[in-house]
Amino acid sequence: MQTSTRDRIVVATARLLQRQGYVGTGIKQIAKESQATLGSIYHFFPGGKEAVAVAAIRHSGREFAALLKDSLDRQPEPSEAVLSCTRELAAGLRESGWVDGCPVTAAALETLGADSELQKACAEALNGWERLVLDKLLGCGFPADDARELATTVISAIEGAEVTAQVNRSEEPLLAAGRQLARLIRSYGIDAARR
């Protein structure tokens, strides 16, 4: 067998969570989409729906982290890196028909009240991404305080711009955010050449 049943369940759930959120995604839909049966799902995830969702969110978190790290490593200049990242996201969004947005936002917003395992998984994913940006900025010589605040803002802005882009079915908000974030980063006057 190419991919294990467990992996199929996680991947399918990740995509469903991204598109319809946690409450909007049913266990039976996961079963159908992943070509697994209820028996298999509850075999691998005795914790039920939430356990599946947690695994899926963690998967998505790692996946986007890899994409982000790629952008950050490829471009020496952090402003350029953010720009190229938003361009990639915009392209992906358009190609998916504006449905494949941030893989954790939808699920995160639905589980804010209760401090569930799922909520923690979403927070960890977000913070992991932020840390990648933070490390890049620190590595480029940004002072710690500025870097921290910038990293938070960059992730938040990309997050929000992706939602805006989805709602308006347009790449523009994401691209605009990329350009403005690049400008903001440049405004600190620290470039790679200076190091």
Q: Which stretch binds DNA (CB under 7 A): 37-45, 108-116, 126-134, 172-180?
A: 37-45
152 lies in the site for DNA, by CB under 7 A? no
Q: What is the sign, positive or negative, of the torsion defined by CA atoms of 5, 8, 14, 17?
A: negative
Nearest to 52 by CA among 25, 74, 71: 25
**Which residues neighbour 88 within 8 Å (Cβ) at sequence distance 6 or greater?**
67, 71
Select 2 or 187, whichever has its Cβ closest to its own copies.
Answer: 187
Select 58 or 136, whichever has its Cβ closest to DNA.
Answer: 58
Near DNA by CB under 7 A: residue from 7, 11, 21, 27: 27
Near DNA by CB under 7 A: residue from 39, 97, 113, 189: 39
Q: Which does 116 bind (CB under 5 to 8 A by kind): its own copies, DNA, none?
A: none
15 lies in the site for DNA, by CB under 7 A? no
Contact set with DNA (CB under 7 A):
5, 25-29, 36-40, 42-44, 48-50
